[in-house]
Amino acid sequence: MQIKELLLQTPNQQTVMVKGWVRTKRVSSSVAFIAINDGSTIHNIQAVVADGAVAEETLKLVTTGACIAVTGSLIPSQGQGQSVEVQVSDILVYGSADPEKYPLQPKKHSLEFLREIGHLRPRTNTFSAILRIRHALAFAIHQYFNEHGFFYLHTPIITGSDAEGAGEMFRVTTLPAIQPPLTEDGKVDYKEDFFGKETNLTVSGQLEGELGALALSKIYTFGPTFRAENSNTTRHLAEFWMVEPEMAFFELTDNMNLAEDFTKSLIKYALEHCADDIAFLEKRLLDEEKTKKKEEQSEMTLTEKLRFVSENTFERITYTEAIDILLQSKPHKQGKFNYPVAWGIDLQSEHERYLVEKHFKKPVILTHYPKDIKAFYMKLEDDGKTVRAMDVLFPGIGEIIGGSQREDDYEKLLQRTKEVGIEEESIWWYLQTRQFGSAPHAGFGLGFERLVLFVTGMSNIRDVIPFPRTPKSAEF
Ligand code: ATP
Ligand code: MN
């Protein structure tokens, strides 16, 4: 039986079997207490071994990290903090763990150290809690869309279009690295490559997502996304998961409404279904906060923050209004921003965080960015200068969602592709959807790990994905 279920049983001395990994073993006046965890819950079950109940040699192998199966009877717990425990009659040791060598000791390890033992860190309380929350959020995403009439569309991971993120892509090739076939002018001849053209790992499923929305009305993608950007920040991974809904007949306001309702629902789902894990992470965070200076300490606990965001309306302002607020701000006037503020700049995370954390103190949806700092497919506003873009900014995270209403006018879209230098023949299929039955449509991309960061209260994106991929790091 999973420990999660076992802890809910009424203890009647019934025989039970538990399998899991030993968190701790302590011996007191010849009675051994073993805390076992199987990952099904943050809570351990306590197994009590009376003197002589199990052979001495067996008990010796039961050390922190060992994997065991315990048989015994379920009884009311004598100890604090748990309602039931197992009175052990038999132990089977599947795998011992030499205490001299096992890296995970029953003490607090630093997150940096745990990153170096990515193969074992899922066995810690912190990471198992994060992984369960991650699972719950992924499930909630599918549930939300399913209940709202969206279809899950699988967009390709290998892409032949370089319309987005040129230079930030990982090439996919079967050509030899040394002496690849060359064209007459000395360039690599991709005609000889596996697909007969240059291909990359996708940076977004959006363009194909639009093709789906212009047939099924409401679709979403949820899959891995790759960016070869060399940004070593706590918010960027080279491989991350992105959720991208795309909706026909949605304009910018509908898109914002969906983004707000969607993220709030996901947070509420986690609060409802992951209470124990969130409580654990909240306590962890409180301990960490105590080591910080008073002014840097968070005013809200994790649960309070999650409640606050899921119960309050997001602020909606235009990029132009945001620039005005920043120009009027203290840090700007005192020259404290590292990057200058002026209409037309791409907002830096210091600017986004000022708006969200200092000025509004809640999530903000920024709209109507200058067209020159946004992608070619965003719908041009009547002013000819701004596009119907929307970025959702979260406290402590910055941008969590980027989206827009898409340009549905063939001539205008063609014009924009030319302006930004995208070759027509590379996305002829995308352009053609605007010639045949074009429709107003909109969509957005939610960075899944940034959502998990927010919900878990963790501060480094490397700690909310099981096996992070970042520059110079792909060990596990
Ligand atoms: P940023 O400015 O933070 O780099 P972006 O503008 O490049 O983000 P988009 O291309 O709009 O982001 O992608 C949509 C969402 O995907 C972002 O809002 C963010 O949540 C997430 N995201 C983007 N890049 C990364 C990354 N390298 N690692 C993890 N999540 C990412
Ligand atoms: Mn980016």
125-147 and 252-273 are packed helices; what angle lies between their axes, rounded to 10 degrees?
130
pLDDT-derived band at 393 (thresholds 50, 70, 90) equals: very high
pLDDT at site 29:
87
Tell me the pLDDT of the chain averaged across its residues. Answer: 95
Q: How far, in Å, is the centroid of ligand 1 from the Cα of 474?
A: 20
In whole angstroms, give the CA distance from residue 136 to residue 306.
15
Q: Please indicate whether residue 445, judged by its CB atom, sits closer than 6 Å to ligand 1.
A: yes
Instruction: Of 42, 57, 51, 61, give the one whose Cα is nearest residue 88.
Output: 51
CA-CA-CA-CA dihedral for 136, 142, 147, 152, to nearest 10:
180
- Nearest-CA residue for atom 3 of ligand 1: 399
Residue to mutate (ligand 1; options 231, 234, 236; most atoms within 8 A of CB):
236
Terminal C-alpha separation, the chain? 30
Q: Please indicate whether residue 400, judged by its CB atom, sits closer than 6 Å to ligand 1.
A: yes
For residue 207, the surrounding DSSP H or E stretch is helix 206-216
For residue 239, the surrounding DSSP H or E stretch is strand 239-248
pLDDT at site 182:
97
pLDDT at site 285:
94
Contact predicate 22/36, CB 8 Å = yes
- 111-155 pLDDT, tens digit each: 999 999 999 999 999 999 999 999 999 999 999 999 999 999 999
Of the two residues 247 and 161, the one the predictor is more confident about is 247
- Within the chain, which residue ranges are assigned CATH 3.30.930.10? 123-168+203-463
- Nearest-CA residue for atom 28 of ligand 1: 236
In whole angstroms, give the CA distance from residue 280 to residue 41.
11
pLDDT at site 161:
80
252-273 and 275-290 are packed helices; what angle lies between their axes, rounded to 10 degrees?
90
* Structure token pair of residue 380: 């041009």
pLDDT-derived band at 441 (thresholds 50, 70, 90) equals: very high
Q: Please indicate whether residue 240, judged by its CB atom, sits closer than 6 Å to ligand 1.
A: yes
Contact predicate 391/253, CB 8 Å = no
Class of 3-103 in CATH: mainly beta
Q: Please indicate whether residue 402, judged by its CB atom, sits closer than 6 Å to ligand 1.
A: yes
pLDDT-derived band at 165 (thresholds 50, 70, 90) equals: low
Examine the pLDDT at 166 and tell me if it is beyond 70: no
Residue to mutate (ligand 1; options 234, 235, 401, 449; most atoms within 8 A of CB):
235
Ligand 1 atom nearest residue 451's Cα? 20
Ligand 1 atom nearest residue 165's Cα? 10
Phi and psi, residue 12, nearest 5°:
-130, 25
- What single string gives the DSSP state of each residue in 243-309? EEEEEET--HHHHHHHHHHHHHHHHHHHHHH-HHHHHHHHHHHHHHHHTS-GGGS-SS-HHHHHHHH
pLDDT at site 107:
87
- Within the chain, which residue ranges are assigned CATH 2.40.50.140? 3-103
Strand 171-172 with 218-226, pairing = unpaired
pLDDT at site 295:
77
Reported as half-sphere exposure (CB side, CA atoms, 13 A), residue 229 has a value of 16
What is each CA distance from 473 to 104, 116, 229, in whole angstroms? 21, 10, 13
| Category of 335 on φ-ψ map: left (φ > 0), alpha (ψ -120 to 50) or beta | left
Contact predicate 4/41, CB 8 Å = yes
pLDDT at site 318:
98
- 288-342 pLDDT, tens digit each: 888 888 877 888 999 999 999 999 999 999 999 999 999 999 999 999 999 999 9
Fold of 123-168+203-463: BirA Bifunctional Protein; domain 2 (3.30.930)
Instruction: Of 405, 406, 403, give the one whose Cα is nearest residue 417.
Output: 406
Q: How far, in Å, is the centroid of ligand 1 from the Cα of 447?
A: 6
pLDDT at site 167:
67
Residue to mutate (ligand 1; options 169, 234, 242, 266; most atoms within 8 A of CB):
242
In whole angstroms, give the CA distance from residue 190 to residue 192.
5
Ligand 1 atom nearest residue 229's Cα? 27
* Structure token pair of residue 143: 């549930």
Strand 84-95 with 151-152, pairing = unpaired
pLDDT at site 164:
66
pLDDT at site 365:
98
Angle 155-161-166 (CA atoms, 0-180°, nearest 5)? 115
Q: How far, in Å, is the centroid of ligand 1 from the Cα of 156?
A: 19
Contacts of 436 (CB under 8 A, 6+ apart): none
DSSP 8-state symbol, 467: S
Examine the pLDDT at 69 and tell me if it is beyond 70: yes
Q: Please indicate whether residue 236, judged by its CB atom, sits closer than 6 Å to ligand 1.
A: yes
Q: How far, in Å, is the centroid of ligand 2 from the Cα of 432?
A: 28
